[in-house]
């Protein structure tokens, strides 16, 4: 069973916004990678590389995940050690799952992670705001 991470996606209103932001960053040139920098290197990083995903909480609901490729220890311009999470640029929509705000990131076990929309392709085509509203009404 893979171990995952969960993190708030601050400043983003929808999965489509996140995808557009990532596309812009990746268009910087050849060799650009989808990354996210966080303060602390996970102690259980080995359990996530290649099998786990980073689940993004957008507007109070887990809505999408990205597979984790690796974790890099880096030193930022201010001289502080950080962790760069390198992600696959694939966005895998999940069943909406309400999640309260929290700081930083948390581990997420496979049994607690929301399932992928997968075969529910019709739902995946709906705008994320509509999926979120339907989930809040208990219709998904």
Residue ranges of domains in the chain: 3-136
User: What are the two backbone dihedrals, phi and then psi, of residue 93, each rounded to the nearest 5 degrees?
Assistant: -65, 145
- Contacts of residue 126, defined as CB under 8 A and 6 or more positions apart, other chains included, come to 134
Query: pLDDT (tens digit, 9 = 90+) per residue, 78-123?
Result: 999 999 999 998 999 998 899 999 999 999 999 999 999 876 556 6
Residues 6, 92: Cα–Cα separation, whole Å? 14
pTM over 0.85: no
């Amino acid at each position: 069973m893979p171990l995952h991470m969960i993190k708030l996606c601050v400043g983003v209103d929808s999965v489509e916004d996140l995808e557009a932001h990532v596309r812009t960053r990746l268009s910087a040139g050849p060799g650009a990678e989808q990354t996210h920098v966080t303060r602390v290197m996970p102690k259980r990083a080995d359990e996530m590389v290649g099998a786990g995903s980073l689940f993004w909480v957008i507007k109070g609901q887990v809505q999408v995940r990205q597979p984790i490729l690796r974790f890099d220890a880096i030193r930022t311009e201010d001289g502080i050690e950080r962790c760069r999470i390198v992600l696959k640029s694939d966005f895998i929509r999940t069943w909406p799952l309400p999640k309260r705000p929290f700081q930083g990131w948390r581990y997420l076990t496979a049994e607690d992670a929301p399932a992928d929309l997968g075969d529910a392709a019709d739902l995946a085509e709906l705008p994320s705001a509509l999926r979120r509203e339907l989930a809040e009404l208990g219709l998904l």
